[in-house]
Structure 1
Amino acid sequence: MAKTLSKQASGSLAPWLGIALIVILVDQLTKIAVSKVLAYATPYPLAPFFNLFLVFNRGAAFSFLGTAGGWQRWMFTTLGVAAAFVICYLLKRHGNQRMFSTALSLIMGGALGNVIDRLVHGHVIDFLDFHVGTWHWPAFNVADSGIVIGAILLVLDELRRVRGTR
């Protein structure tokens, strides 16, 4: 009986790893494409509020620690890999919770997409540039989008859990 209950409580990792893999693939394919097509640090306007703008980020979000001596590459790589292991553990335990698991899958895919950049290039490739007038949001990529969307879903999932509407 205990085996049946624990098996039902946990879920298969396959669908959640599939979501993470899709994020990684879309992220890496878009980075390859923009790296081949765009000139570095040259804006390519697509809308009054949006440019494609190829830049390299050696740090973390908003180029935090981007000018450090190079150690940050390995710290953020280690952090991303460690996060992926923790997320796999959580997915295995809570795979039956769809929103929670989707959120974690998006975060893991985004983290690993940026880890791949750090390992292969020594920096993260960013290219999405939203702006209002002359004020520009820091450039980001598909992996970053996965992380942010996943974080928003985690908050929504927690709000639903606290309110008992899940």
Structure 2
Amino acid sequence: MSNSVSAKKKTNVKLIDIFSVLFAILVAADQYFKDLVVKQIKPVGTKVIIKDFFSLFYCENTGSAFSLFADKAWGIYFLIAVSTILGCGIFALMIVSSKNSMPLLSVAFCLLSSGAIGNLIDRARLKYVIDFLRFDFGSYTFPIFNFADICAVLGTFLLIYIIVFRSKEFEAFWNILFKKKETEDAE
């Protein structure tokens, strides 16, 4: 094995390790923040941080984004299944992008998968997701969310950025996923 191939393999292993650890840290942070909210905020309901703008507000969300499926008895099981498939699938994409030295894509997939798994843990364990970040804009209250949601949204925006502004990198990743060789494109 040549030195450059060996060095690339070591770099790829390090990237996988780095992003796997980052994934674990983000999921652990999400669970830690939710545990703090249960202990500190749930007993009082809310803690105002910036009057009429930002507060910590204990909320049990039995649905998904914007409480979708919250009123359906089967909704939590559907969301557990979707979160499991997406979380694990996106984690696998993170591994593939890490193996192929694509750190920006790895970050996007790491954020997305940690957000999905963070909320999956709540759904499987509690049958609801703990939300706690509340922003008020006059009489409008933005939907209450949590740290896992922040990870998922940041990962989504980063992925959109890559697709739109770094399309060659995303296309290369797509080709790797579907084993499409550069030489096929030239034909």
Give me the TM-score of the superposition, normalised by structure 1: 0.86
Q: CA deviation at 1:162?
A: 3.0
Structure 1 residue 40, shift from structure 2 partner: 6.3
CA positional deviation for 1:22: 1.3
TM-score using structure 2 length: 0.77
Partner amino acid for 2:26? V
Give, in angstroms, the shift of residue 74 of structure 1.
1.5
Aligned residue type for 1:97: M
Trace 1:2-151 onto structure 2 (pairs within 5 A). 11-12=12-13, 13-39=16-42, 42-48=45-51, 49-69=53-73, 71-95=74-98, 96-151=101-156
Structure with the larger RCO, 1 or 2 (CA within 8 Å, 6+ apart): 1
Aligned residues: 159
Q: Distance in 1 between matches of 2:65 and 2:129?
A: 10
Change (3 A) 1:41 1:125: farther
AA at the equivalent of 1:121: L
Structure 2: gaps (5+ residues): 170-187
Shift in CA distance, 163/81, structure 1 to aligned 2, threshold 3 Å: closer
Alpha-carbon distance in structure 2 between the residues aligned to 1:143 and 1:79 = 15
What CA RMSD, in Å, does the superposition of the two structures yield over aligned residues? Answer: 2.2
Identity within the alignment, %:
30
1:161 corresponding residue in structure 2: 166
Which amino acid letter does the alignment assign opposite residue 85 of structure 2? Answer: A
Unaligned runs of 5+ residues in structure 1 are none
Q: Distance in 1 between matches of 2:143 and 2:43?
A: 15
Query: Residues 108, 41 of structure 1: CA spacing in aligned structure 2 closer, same or farther, 3 A cutoff?
Result: farther
Looking at structure 2, the residues matched to 105 and 21 of structure 1 have their Cα atoms a distance apart, in angstroms, of: 9
1:72–1:41 distance in 2 versus 1, CA, 3 Å: farther
Contact preservation (8 Å) 2:90, 2:113: yes
Give the counterpart letter for 1:149 in structure 2: L
Q: Distance in 2 between matches of 1:84 and 1:58?
A: 18
